[in-house]
Amino acid sequence: MRLLLSILSCFIYTAASAQIDSTLLRRKPRDTSALLMNMDAVYNRPFLTVGKMPVALGGYAEANWQHMGTDGVTEGHQFQMRRLTLFVASGITRRLRFLSEIEFEDGTKEINIEFAAVDMELHPLFNLRGGIVMNPIGSFNQNHDGPKWEFVDRPVSATQMLPATWSNVGFGAYGKQYKKSWVVAWEGYVTNGFNDAIINNALGRTSLPAAKQWPDRFEESFNGVPMVTLKGAVKHRKVAEVGVSYMAGIYNRFQDEGMTLDVKRPVKVWAVDANTTIGATNTFLTGEWAWVHVDVPATYSQQYGNRQQGGFLDIVQPVYKGRVAGFDRSVINVACRLEYTDWNVGRFEQTGGNIADEFMSIVPAISWRPGPLSVIRLNYRYNLQRDLLGNPASRTAGFQAGFSSYF
Amino acid sequence: MKHLFTALLFLTFGYITFISCTKLEPAAPADDAILDGPVEGLTPDQKARFLRGDVAFNDEIFTAETGLGPLFVAASCGSCHAGDGKGHPFITLTRFGQSDTSGNMYLAHGGPQLQNRALPGYTPESVPAGAPSSRFLPPANTGMGFLEAVTDADIAAMADPKDADGDGISGVCNWIALASYETPSPDAIVWKGKYIGRFGRKAAALNLLQQTASAYNQDMGITSEYEPYDTYSGHSIEPEVSNQTVQDVVFYLQTLKAPIQRTPDAPDVLRGKELFVQVECAKCHKPELKTGYSPIAALSYKTFHPYTDLLLHDMGPGLDDGYTEGHAQTYEWRTPALWGLGLSRNSQGGQYFLLHDGRAHSIEEAILLHGGEAQKSSSLFAALPEGDKNKLLTFLESL
């Protein structure tokens, strides 16, 4: 809470200083070229600069109402402040810059530094980044800002199977090469990694996000072995962007005080992501699919699976562009998200039967974008969750409505 | 004016969403289609306690930090009893170490229950060479408060150890020693310092407190004041679950409703019920029992339909695994309650795993595997015309 107050105080102080002349407050122009990629999302945000200060500020907030029910049981009307995120960017020198992203989730229940890194530009194909970086696995982890999406909830596969938002302390490099309508990009980082909470958690399933519960993860590595994250992506201005990413590390404490306690147990993740806009209809499609492999000890419970897979596909169709309620640049979209996650891919040792433990959902949506920085959205979510044994699925459904806006 | 119209449009749209939200949410399954839910007649404070027990039973998943293991079979109560129904072979409890009434000879080797899973870095147990063993599937939880409230006198009255009536059925009580933390009910029958067991495949547990405390300990490696010994080290350690939580879970199990029969008046179900009696299944699977006094008013002096007599019966050599508990013989098994049988598949992944170890994959197969005292019933069933067999199976599916 004190951290929140301090940051808000800085904002208020900065704004108050600028009240002398409001024209000093300027929107920093965003790159809207068609060659932006998911990896650019962290910097491609609407920042506000004050006069000639070398610091740019920004952020977004999202809140919603929802009424969901599971098999006839509902918790009624819920009003939620999902997150408030603050960005601070600074040009230290012409080719040295700093950006941080601090997120307050569910009020102040979770306060996370999602990104706090210094970038050094050396060559378009080779730039350095160090600090708390977002591991580029899939696309959603890097491109997760609420106002960019037509859906109140983040994708389940990206946030509950993959650990978006997933940031770690480490270093790496990235680069891009343009050629006519093509752009090719790469990223690679070594960072701290996972810990044994991924198979020792109260969720009752293998969960990469459970690793975020370890409070010391920004100050030390759980086992001293760096995690590697690599991503390559290619984009054609008129066709699509496709990315392939890989993340691998050791999650268990295999030695302590010089004594070997266990073998090294790896966790490996592959992901593919893609997005495109169909020119004829202006339909936007984006999605990702990921595969998770975790070396779970054979003597542990099969409830904690060693393979997971899942992904999502968003289809967004603009149906109206123009003036709505006095907002000249309004866009109204209809959209739909399809999601699937298999939390435990495999078969029971005892029976040979399929291990179910799977989730699927469909989320039709209507969104109104009164401007490019804000979205008001209405979703109807319908989930099916099947347990480990494949018993009749529990059904959850309901409406969600809310807004998300950069500020 | 135009803005006002837009605002009204939004308001109308919002209002329609607001009032219609519950209409598009999934309806609750019918009461007779699920096993969970409380008995009728609980007071508000009892309902709150039921919910606390429900959370502890179904939602609390133990980790290394909260006491799991280090040796264990399952990480939560709910993983053995999905939807409060029968278990799946994924969680099979292997019991070992006792082959006669002289007691368990392998207590020093981890008996009576195998912990076949372990936290990383630990080695799970295996059955010691030469030890007798048997695999038990977790039973359904529902209606157990009613079974607990049946008086000892009623159970003893159904017993016929010497088959005095000559019908070939000789149900016997399993006489068991009292755990140190248990208080027998005032009307308990005592024989040579031992009491009538009624829970577990061998009726080796006196009541739901014993079942619960030992399941925390032996299934999950969780110690309590009731069962303070760590299954790995054998040492008495700090309780890893509170007495309050254990008691809440006991209350939850006591007050889970009895399964509700589906289509009880359908002609095939009614005919099947007649056949059930005709082929003498009902001699052990007693259709009707009644409770005595219970401190939970909703359970006191009720008539209910569990299809069990809570007694041990000789089930023949085919089901004799060579392992036993308490005073039971290795070939003796407690009559399992048949209520909820038709819903078993909903907790067993869509297929049947019946009998004590799940070896039967259909009700018919389970009947045909009955031997010993039940051989006659099994043979009478096998001799029924196909149509009558199906009616009897339809009746069992309706339970």
Chain A touched by B117 (CB under 8 Å)? yes
Chain A touched by B118 (CB under 8 Å)? yes
Q: Do B17 and A202 touch (CB under 8 A)?
A: no
Cβ atoms A69, A36 nearer than 8 A: no
d(CA A46, CA A89): 11
**Nearest by CB to B63, which of A201, A380, A391?**
A201
**Nearest by CB to B61, which of A202, A389, A401?**
A202
Local confidence band at B23 (pLDDT 50, 70, 90 cut-offs): confident
Task: List chain B residues with CB under 8 Å of A350.
Answer: 89-90, 92
Task: List chain B residues with CB under 8 Å of A324.
Answer: 6
Domain of residue B149, residue span = 35-398
Task: List chain B residues with CB under 8 Å of A68.
Answer: 25
Q: Is B114 helix (H, G, I), strand (E, B) or coil?
A: coil
d(CA A115, CA B115): 44
Task: Answer positive or negative: Cα dihedral of B172, B178, B183, B189.
Answer: positive
Helices (H), A221-365: none
Q: What is the mean pLDDT of residues B302-313?
A: 97
Cα–Cα nearest to A30, from A56, A62, A61, A7: A56
d(CA B87, CA B100): 27
A378, with CB counted inside 10 A (0-12, 13-18, 19+), is buried
β-sheet bridge partners, residue A324: A327
Chain A touched by B303 (CB under 8 Å)? no
Interface of B with A in 326-365 (CB under 8 A): 346-351
Residue B329 lies in a domain: yes
d(CA B380, CA B281): 10
Residue B235 lies in a domain: yes
Q: Is B174 helix (H, G, I), strand (E, B) or coil?
A: strand
Residue B16 lies in a domain: no
Cβ atoms B57, B201 nearer than 8 A: no
Residue B395 dihedral angles phi and psi, to the nearest 5°: -60, -45
Q: Give residue B355's identity as a one-letter amino acid code.
A: L
d(CA B288, CA B309): 9
Lowest mean pLDDT among A53-67, A74-88, B11-25, B313-327: B11-25
Chain B interface mutation, best of A223, A301, A395, highest count of B Cβ atoms under 10 Å = A301
Cβ atoms B133, B96 nearer than 8 A: yes
- Looking at residue A139, its pLDDT comes to 95
Between B267-278 and B386-398, two packed helices, what is the crossing angle to 10 degrees?
100
Interface of B with A in 124-183 (CB under 8 A): 124
Task: List chain A residues with CB under 8 Å of B27.
Answer: 71-72
| Number of CB atoms found within 10 A of residue B146's CB | 27
Task: List chain A residues with CB under 8 Å of B61.
Answer: 201-204
Chain A touched by B106 (CB under 8 Å)? no
Cβ atoms B203, B174 nearer than 8 A: yes
C-alpha A55 chain-centroid distance: 25
Q: Give residue B105's identity as a one-letter amino acid code.
A: M
Apex A343 CA angle, B90 and B88, nearest 5: 15
Q: Do B79 and A398 touch (CB under 8 A)?
A: no
d(CA A75, CA B329): 51
Residue A172 dihedral angles phi and psi, to the nearest 5°: -175, -165
Chain A touched by B24 (CB under 8 Å)? yes
Q: Give residue B266's identity as a one-letter amino acid code.
A: A
Between the two ends of chain B, the Cα-to-Cα distance in Å is 65
Report the run of H or E that residue B396 belongs to, with start and end. Answer: helix B386-398
Task: List chain B residues with CB under 8 Å of A395.
Answer: 26
Cβ atoms A51, A23 nearer than 8 A: no
d(CA A101, CA A145): 11
Q: How far is A385 from chain B (nearest CA, A)?
A: 13
Task: List chain B residues with CB under 8 Å of A70.
Answer: 26
For A286, the token pair is 């984006």
**Nearest by CB to A196, which of B6, B120, B350?**
B120
Q: What's the mean pLDDT when you consider all of chain B?
A: 94
**Nearest by CB to B346, which of A380, A392, A396?**
A392
**Nearest by CB to B17, which of A71, A356, A378?**
A378
Minimum CA–CA partner of B116 in chain A: A299
Chain A touched by B15 (CB under 8 Å)? no
Q: Is B244 helix (H, G, I), strand (E, B) or coil?
A: helix
Is residue B183 predicted with pLDDT exceeding 90?
no
Apex A317 CA angle, A315 and A321, nearest 5: 150
A311, with CB counted inside 10 A (0-12, 13-18, 19+), is buried
Q: Do A252 and B27 touch (CB under 8 A)?
A: no
Task: List chain A residues with CB under 8 Å of B348.
Answer: 389, 391
Task: List chain B residues with CB under 8 Å of A261.
Answer: 121
d(CA B206, CA B246): 16
- Looking at residue B2, its pLDDT comes to 65
DSSP assignment of B9-21: HHHHHHHHHHHHG
Q: What is the mean pLDDT of residues B366-391?
A: 96
d(CA B146, CA B155): 13
Cβ atoms B231, B115 nearer than 8 A: yes
For residues B164-174, one letter each, b for 16 or more C-beta atoms within 10 angstroms of the residue's C-beta and e for the rest, the string is eeeeebbbbbb
d(CA A332, CA A77): 26
Cβ atoms A400, A66 nearer than 8 A: yes
Between B208-220 and B243-255, two packed helices, what is the crossing angle to 10 degrees?
120
For A151, the token pair is 């859906």
For B323, the token pair is 């392992």
Q: Do B121 and A261 touch (CB under 8 A)?
A: yes
Cα–Cα nearest to A78, from A90, A69, A89: A69
d(CA B7, CA B12): 9
For A330, the token pair is 């309004």
Residue B188 lies in a domain: yes
Residue A210's domain is classified under what CATH number? 2.40.160.10
Domain of residue A175, residue span = 2-406
Q: Do B349 and A397 touch (CB under 8 A)?
A: no
Task: Answer positive or negative: Cα dihedral of B72, A349, B54, B354.
Answer: negative
For B334, the token pair is 């407690």
Residue B22 lies in a domain: no
d(CA B269, CA B262): 9
Cβ atoms B263, B398 nearer than 8 A: yes
- Looking at residue A91, its pLDDT comes to 87
C-alpha B108 chain-centroid distance: 28
Rg value, chain B, Cα? 23
Is residue B375 predicted with pLDDT exceeding 90?
yes
Chain B interface mutation, best of A206, A263, A300, A323, highest count of B Cβ atoms under 10 Å = A300
Q: What 8-state DSSP symbol labels residue A22?
A: G
Q: Do B62 and A302 touch (CB under 8 A)?
A: no
Q: What is the mean pLDDT of residues B2-12?
A: 74
pLDDT, tens digit (0-9, with 9 covering 90-100), for B28-60:
999 999 999 999 999 999 999 999 999 999 999
β-sheet bridge partners, residue A187: A174, A231
- Looking at residue B11, its pLDDT comes to 78
Q: How far is B127 from chain A (nearest CA, A)?
A: 15
| Number of CB atoms found within 10 A of residue B101's CB | 14
Cβ atoms A176, A185 nearer than 8 A: yes
pLDDT, tens digit (0-9, with 9 covering 90-100), for B141-151:
999 999 999 99
Residue A366: C-alpha distances to residues A12, A316, A380, B295 (Å): 34, 9, 9, 55
Residue B296 lies in a domain: yes
Chain A touched by B60 (CB under 8 Å)? yes
Cα–Cα nearest to A245, from A295, A198, A286, A187: A187
Q: How many domains does chain B have?
A: 1
Task: List chain A residues with CB under 8 Å of B10.
Answer: 325
Chain A touched by B81 (CB under 8 Å)? no
Residue B10 lies in a domain: no
Q: Give residue B294's identity as a one-letter amino acid code.
A: S
Q: Do B82 and A351 touch (CB under 8 A)?
A: no
For B371, the token pair is 């031997």
- pTM, two decimals, is 0.90
d(CA A275, CA A290): 15
For A258, the token pair is 């010089």
Cβ atoms B230, B217 nearer than 8 A: no
Residue B256 lies in a domain: yes
A52, with CB counted inside 10 A (0-12, 13-18, 19+), is exposed
Chain A touched by B119 (CB under 8 Å)? yes
Q: Do B119 and A200 touch (CB under 8 A)?
A: yes
β-sheet bridge partners, residue B2: none
Q: pLDDT in tens for each of the 407 residues of chain A?
A: 454 445 445 444 444 443 445 555 566 655 555 568 888 888 888 888 877 778 889 999 999 999 999 999 999 999 999 999 999 999 888 899 999 999 998 887 888 899 999 999 999 999 999 999 999 999 999 999 999 999 999 999 999 999 999 999 999 999 999 998 999 999 999 999 999 999 999 999 999 999 999 999 999 999 999 999 999 999 998 899 999 999 999 999 999 988 999 999 999 999 999 999 999 999 999 999 999 999 999 999 999 999 999 999 999 999 999 999 889 999 999 999 999 999 999 999 999 999 999 999 999 999 999 999 999 999 999 999 999 999 999 999 999 999 999 99
For A351, the token pair is 């029976």
Minimum CA–CA partner of A67 in chain B: B21
Chain B interface mutation, best of A203, A214, A299, highest count of B Cβ atoms under 10 Å = A299
Apex A313 CA angle, A310 and A318, nearest 5: 165
Minimum CA–CA partner of A200 in chain B: B63
Q: Do B89 and A378 touch (CB under 8 A)?
A: no
Interface of B with A in 232-271 (CB under 8 A): none
Q: How far is A36 from chain B (nearest CA, A)?
A: 34
Q: Is A210 helix (H, G, I), strand (E, B) or coil?
A: helix
